[in-house]
């Protein structure tokens, strides 16, 4: 749907509608609740829009809700980027690159659809999904290049470019999933960067993980389903690009 018809609050409602009548429960955190959880990155990304950010949380306990210390019942966590429209923020995108940016919620939409499919199939698995929903808009309230925001886990982050918003909202969503669910594996999906298209074209999604077994599994499943994936490196040499003289990371 166009960005005007699918804002963060409307995406939250769409998630509830999609999962209505299934065994999946849906909870939505408002902007004030996001602030209370100290999710400063999600808050920073969405504060320039009139429709403020939401955090959509979906729970499915197909194997029974885990008891304390029951690692076998620990859920799989699915994290999906839910940017309902991405103007680029104050580092505005070129006009020709903005037209399709209502698609920047594709990762979040995929996870909502996955949760619906899991519930409809009645899988004997515990799965939770967290979708950070926001609009990266331009206003007097927007985050600025050079701002420093504090993540939910306490890490301070220097904003160098406001169009790098996806990794910010995903970081807080991952921390939320880790804090509240202690998942046995976490998978995130996002329209994160056009660099993946440069590397792989439109034939495959990029996989980035340091877990070799998980990488192999995702590649094999991609071959099986026709939804191809291919690995890109996560070398320690890249860490130098995250250095900041003003915050923990940039």
Q: Which residues are annotated as catalytic? A: 93, 167
Q: Find out whether 56 and 11 touch, Cβ atoms under 8 Å.
A: yes
- Residue 69: which H helix or E strand, with range? none
- Residue 16: which H helix or E strand, with range? helix 8-19
What pairs with residue 30 in β-bridges?
none
133 vs 30: CA distance, rounded Å: 10
Q: Please report which residue ranges of 145-241 form alpha helices under DSSP H.
A: 165-181, 195-200, 212-225
Provide the b/e sequence for 129-161 (b: ≥16 CB within 10 Å). Answer: bbbbbbbbbeeeebbeeeeebbbbeeeebbbee
Percent helix, percent strand, percent coil in the chain, to nearest 5 = 40, 20, 40
6 vs 206: CA distance, rounded Å: 26
Structure token pair of residue 73: 């019942």
Helix axes 8-19, 106-121, angle to 10 degrees: 10
28 vs 152: CA distance, rounded Å: 17
């Amino acid at each position: 749907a166009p960005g005007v018809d699918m804002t963060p609050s409307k995406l939250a409602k769409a998630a509830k509608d999609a999962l209505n009548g299934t065994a999946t429960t849906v909870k939505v955190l408002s902007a004030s609740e996001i602030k209370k959880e100290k999710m400063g990155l999600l808050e920073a990304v969405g504060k320039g829009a009139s429709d403020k950010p939401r955090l959509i949380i979906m729970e499915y306990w197909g194997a029974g809700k885990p008891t304390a210390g029951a690692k076998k019942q620990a859920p799989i966590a699915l994290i999906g980027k839910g940017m309902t429209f991405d103007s680029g923020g104050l580092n505005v995108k070129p006009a020709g690159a903005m037209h399709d940016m209502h698609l920047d919620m594709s990762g979040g939409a995929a996870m909502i659809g996955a949760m619906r499919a899991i519930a409809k199939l009645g899988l004997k698995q515990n799965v939770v999904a967290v979708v950070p929903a926001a609009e990266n808009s331009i206003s007097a309230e927007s985050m600025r290049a050079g701002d420093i925001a504090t993540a939910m886990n306490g890490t301070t982050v220097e904003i160098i470019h406001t169009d790098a918003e996806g990794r910010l909202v995903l970081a807080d969503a991952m921390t939320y999933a880790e804090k509240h669910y202690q998942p046995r594996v976490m998978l995130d999906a996002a329209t994160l960067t056009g660099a993946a298209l440069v590397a792989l074209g439109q034939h495959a999604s990029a996989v980035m993980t340091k877990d070799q077994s998980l990488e192999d599994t995702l590649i094999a499943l991609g071959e099986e389903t026709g939804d191809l994936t291919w690995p890109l490196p996560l070398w320690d040499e890249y860490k130098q690009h995250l250095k900041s003289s003003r915050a923990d990371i940039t």
